[in-house]
C-alpha cells in the first residue's frame, strides 16, 4: 500500500512508540510485506529466522523487535511487538469504512457496465467499461476491475487475507490493506472468492477465466489466458504464469510457481513449483506420463504377488 503523501520517520516512530534509528526526516512512502516491498516501503519482522531477509529486502524502513546494526540507506523502528505496530499503521492509514449504499458513491463505474440488483460495490472501487456484475456479487473496497469483465453471482472480490499470528491467548489478525486487481476480459465464476493482498495486490491478468467455487489466496499472481476449473484452491503468495490450465479440484500450495503453459489435471495437488509446458497429475502432482506408468505398474502388482506364492 502506498501512502497518499510521504510520511516522516519521526511521525511513524511517535505513533507506534518505537525507538528510531535513522534520520527523523527519513521518507516513508508506503508499507508492504517482505516479498513485495519496494524502496521507500516500510515492512516488519518479529522472528530471528527472517531478520536477515527483512534487513536485506528492498524495504527502506523496518519495524523490528531487536537492536541490530542499521543497513546503510535504511532506517529502523525498534519495538516489542512489530506485528501489532504494523496492524496499528494499517488501521490508521486504511481504516475500515462502512458502506452507505449497495453501490458506493465513491466507486467509479465505466460506460456500458451493468450492475445487477443485489450486487455490492464497495468504497473507492474502480470498474471499467462494458462489465457485467451479476446479482449478489460483492466487490470490496479499493478493488480495481478492468474492461469487459464478467463477475457471476455470489463471487466475492477482495475479502481479507487469511493471515493470523498464533499467540497464547488466541490468534491475532493481520489486517489487510491490499487490493485485488482484475485486468480486462476476465470472467469470474459463481461463488468464487479472490482475497485481497495483505498490503500489496492479488493480481488476475487479462483473459483469464474462472469456473465456479474457486478460492484464490492473498497476494497471488495469475497470468494471462489461464483457465481455472471448479473447486480449485490456490493458496496465497503463489505465481501462476500465462496460459496455465488447472482443471477441477486442483489444490495449489503457497509460495510456489506454476510455469507458463503447464496443465494440472483434475483432482491433483501440488506442494512444489512445477515447470511450464508439461502436464501433471496426482497428489503430489508429477508429470502425468510418469504417474500413469506408476498406476499401470500398481495394477500389475496383484498378479506378480500371486505368482510368488
Residue 228 to residue 197: CA distance in whole angstroms: 19
Residue 23 to residue 8: CA distance in whole angstroms: 9
- Cβ contact 230:214 at 8 Å: yes
What amino acid positions are annotated as catalytic residues? Answer: 218
* Grid cell for residue 300: 500389475
- Cβ contact 189:134 at 8 Å: no
Amino acid at each position: 500500500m502506498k501512502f497518499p503523501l510521504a510520511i516522516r520517520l519521526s511521525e511513524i516512530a511517535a505513533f507506534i512508540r518505537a525507538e528510531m534509528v535513522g534520520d527523523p526526516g527519513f521518507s516513508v512512502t508506503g508499507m508492504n510485506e517482505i516479498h513485495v516491498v519496494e524502496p521507500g516501503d516500510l515492512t516488519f519482522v518479529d522472528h530471528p529466522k527472517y531478520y536477515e531477509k527483512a534487513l536485506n529486502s528492498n524495504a527502506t524502513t523496518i519495524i523490528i523487535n531487536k537492536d541490530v546494526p542499521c543497513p546503510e540507506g535504511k532506517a529502523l523502528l525498534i519495538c516489542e511487538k512489530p506485528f501489532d505496530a504494523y496492524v496499528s499503521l494499517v488501521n490508521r492509514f486504511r481504516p475500515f469504512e462502512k458502506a452507505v449504499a449497495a453501490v458506493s458513491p465513491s466507486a467509479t463505474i465505466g460506460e456500458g457496465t451493468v450492475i445487477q440488483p443485489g450486487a455490492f460495490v464497495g468504497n473507492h472501487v474502480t470498474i471499467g467499461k462494458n462489465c457485467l456484475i451479476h446479482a449478489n456479487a460483492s466487490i470490496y473496497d479499493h478493488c480495481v476491475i478492468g474492461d469487459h469483465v464478467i463477475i457471476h453471482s455470489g463471487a466475492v472480490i477482495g475479502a481479507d487475507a487469511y493471515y493470523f499470528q498464533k499467540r497464547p491467548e488466541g490468534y491475532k489478525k493481520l489486517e489487510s490493506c491490499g487490493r485485488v486487481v482484475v485486468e480486462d476480459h476476465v470472467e469470474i465464476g459463481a461463488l468464487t472468492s479472490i482475497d485481497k493482498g495483505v498490503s500489496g495486490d492479488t493480481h488476475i491478468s487479462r483473459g483469464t477465466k474462472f469456473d465456479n467455487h474457486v478460492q484464490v489466496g492473498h497476494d497471488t499472481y495469475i497470468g494471462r489466458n489461464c483457465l481455472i476449473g471448479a473447486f480449485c484452491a490456490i493458496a496465497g503468495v503463489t505465481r501462476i504464469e500465462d496460459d496455465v490450465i488447472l482443471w477441477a479440484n486442483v489444490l495449489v500450495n503457497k509460495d510456489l510457481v506454476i510455469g507458463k503453459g503447464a496443465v494440472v489435471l483434475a483432482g491433483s495437488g501440488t506442494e512444489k513449483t512445477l515447470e511450464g509446458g508439461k502436464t501433471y497429475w496426482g497428489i503430489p502432482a508429477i508429470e502425468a506420463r510418469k504417474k500413469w506408468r506408476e498406476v499401470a505398474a500398481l495394477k500389475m502388482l496383484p498378479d506378480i504377488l500371486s505368482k510368488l506364492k
